[in-house]
Amino acid sequence: MAYKILIVDDDVLLRRSLAFNFEKCGYPANTAENAEDALAIINIDPPDLILLDIGLPGMDGLDAISEIRNSKNIPVIFLTARRSGSDQVTGLNAGADDYITKPFDFDVLLAHVKAVLRRRENPVPEPAENILQVGDLKLDFPQHKAEIGGKELELSPKEFELLTAMALNADHIISTDNLLKRVWGAEYTGDPQVLYVHIRWLRSKIEEDPDHPKRILTVRSVGYKFNSTLSE
């Protein structure tokens, strides 16, 4: 299967260079110079992965990914000159699967693209049962739904995968590296900040007080533990 890539950047030379190199590597590539054109392409011929600049003319990349996430579950990697830690957190918070700063080496970008596509094809393994009950958490795998105390949670696909990985190891410590490998793929080489951001999102949705979590516990310098029995 040849994965289709959509490259969205207002730098015409970069667009052409990336499209040429990806097609040489066996990935059909389409391009757009702005978010509006990209959204039109996505609706007509959805790609398997999107490389998206943030600093686009008109609608920027952050607004564009919000539009994409409203209707499509397509992996998005931000390619941007915005290098600060806060910019990376903002990009990941917006829903990006990865964040790469310019300038970059094409081989490094290609490795990230392959890792993201592998994660899409090989999500966190689910148990043989269709339903997993851990304390008052209920995971419905065929429906990709999660409930706590009978109340349905609004989770993104990646949040559901992360919660599944921890619930399958409830009451056991799971390391940061292990979580990254399980949810983002065995060869993920990106910033672990992506995990910290998703943990924060999950806590905001499942904890009564996200600043003092009782379900997703941090084990300092090691990783996390999902607590199946809440203490008073």
Domains of the chain: 5-121 (3.40.50.2300), 131-226 (1.10.10.10)
Q: Who has greater pLDDT, 61 or 72?
A: 61
Split at pLDDT 50, 70, 90, the class of 125 is: low
Flag whether pLDDT at 126 surpasses 60: no
Rounded CA separation 173/149 (Å) = 23
* Residue 99, H or E segment: strand 98-101
Q: Who has greater pLDDT, 73 or 170?
A: 170
Query: Which distant-in-sequence residues (6+ apart) come within 8 Å of 167 by Cβ?
Result: 132, 134, 137, 139, 226
Q: How many residues does the chain have?
A: 232
Give burial (CB, 10 Å; 0-12/13-18/19+) of 130: exposed
Flag whether pLDDT at 128 surpasses 70: no
Rounded CA separation 216/223 (Å) = 10
Rounded CA separation 227/230 (Å) = 7
Cβ–Cβ < 8 Å for 137, 146: yes
Rounded CA separation 85/5 (Å) = 27
How much is the mean pLDDT over the chain? 88
Q: Quick one: pLDDT at residue 141?
A: 86
Q: Quick one: pLDDT at residue 127?
A: 58
HEC per residue, the chain = CCCCEEEECCCHHHHHHHHHHHHHCCCCEEEECCHHHHHHHHHHCCCCEEEECCCCCCCCHHHHHHHHHHHCCCCEEEEECCCCHHHHHHHHHCCCCEEEECCCCHHHHHHHHHHHHHHHHCCCCCCCCCEEEECCEEEECCCCEEEECCEEECCCHHHHHHHHHHHCCCCCEEEHHHHHHHHHCCCCCCCCHHHHHHHHHHHHHHCCCCCCCCCEEEECCCEEEECCCCCC
Q: Quick one: pLDDT at residue 92?
A: 83
Q: Quick one: pLDDT at residue 231?
A: 42
Q: Tokens 């043989």, residue?
A: 128
Least confident of 96-105, 116-125, 130-139, 178-187: 116-125
Q: Quick one: pLDDT at residue 232?
A: 39
Segment 152-173 mean pLDDT: 90
